[in-house]
Amino acid sequence: MSEFQIGDKVTGIYKTGKYYGEITEIRPQHYTLRVLAVAKHPMQGDLHNPREADVMIFHERRALAFREQANIPKQMVKHFTEDLPEYQTSLREAIDKLKKELTENSSPWAELSLKSITSLEKDYF
pLDDT in tens for each of the 125 residues of the chain? Answer: 458 999 999 999 999 999 999 999 999 999 999 999 999 999 999 989 999 999 999 999 999 999 999 999 999 999 999 999 999 999 999 999 999 999 999 999 999 999 999 999 999 99
State the pLDDT at residue 50: 92
State the pLDDT at residue 3: 87
Is the pTM for the entire model greater than 0.85? yes
Burial 79-93 (b: 16+ CB within 10 A, else e): ebeeeebebeebbbb
Architecture of domain 9-124: Roll (2.30)
Task: Give the domain ranges of the chain.
Answer: 9-124
Residues in the chain: 125
Euclidean distance between CA atoms 68 and 54, whole angstroms: 31
Euclidean distance between CA atoms 44 and 65, whole angstroms: 16
66 contacts 36 by C-beta, under 8 angstroms:
yes
